[in-house]
Amino acid sequence: MENNYFVHPSAIVDDGAVIGNGTKVWHFTHIMSGAVLGDNCNIGQNVVISSEVRLGKNVKVQNNVSIYTGVTCEDDVFLGPSAVFTNVNNPRSAVVRRNQYLKTNVGKGATIGANATIVCGHNIGEYAFIGAGAVVTKDVPPYALLVGNPAHQLGWMSEYGHRLKFDANGIAVCPESKQEYSLAGNKVKRIK
């Protein structure tokens, strides 16, 4: 059976890893056994994807990203250069905590900026936008824009990655897509 994906000769893909059709794995990347990558993903150079990581379709992983066991990224997630996920809250070199890995889910369409750190056990809502260098230490609502260390919410983002400005009625329009959004009870929803 012929592979329908590309793996650069310098990359290592362990037996037991699953790679979807159209996915590209670039220089010096390591995909470990038990990792599952969906169709049409793009995995940059010097990336580590540990066992039991799940990436949906069309996930873009930029250079130098570390994705450790316990992380799931839904479809259309963007992980910026040198972003990192943790999987243990209290690591010690001399204490084995492999059975204590905490789960992190990154929702559909979310963006994690360059050099951001996602502390384990916290979920990122769909279409959330985590700014460069942010350190996420709590759950992130869908469409939320977070920046800083520790990360704090600065506003809301559209599915096209534009800052939303809500009027007095709690309605905002994305300047690019013209999609409309509503804000009620500190929750944003796209108006279909």
The CATH H-level (homologous superfamily) assignment of domain 1-88+102-157 is Hexapeptide repeat proteins (2.160.10.10)
Domain borders along the chain are: 1-88+102-157, 165-192
pLDDT at 51: 97
Grade residue 107 by pLDDT with cuts at 50, 70 and 90. very high
Decide: 52 and 71 in contact? Cβ < 8 Å.
no
Question: Is the pTM for the entire model greater than 0.75?
Answer: yes
pLDDT at 162: 98
The dihedral formed by the CA atoms of 91, 95, 98 and 99, expressed in degrees to the nearest 10: -110
pLDDT at 22: 98
Average pLDDT of the segment spanning 130-147: 98
Burial of 85 (0-12, 13-18, 19+ CB in 10 A): buried
The pLDDT > 90 percentage for the chain reads 97
- Residues 24-61: pLDDT tens digits? 999 999 999 999 999 999 999 999 999 999 999 999 99
Report CA 8 to chain centroid distance, whole Å: 23
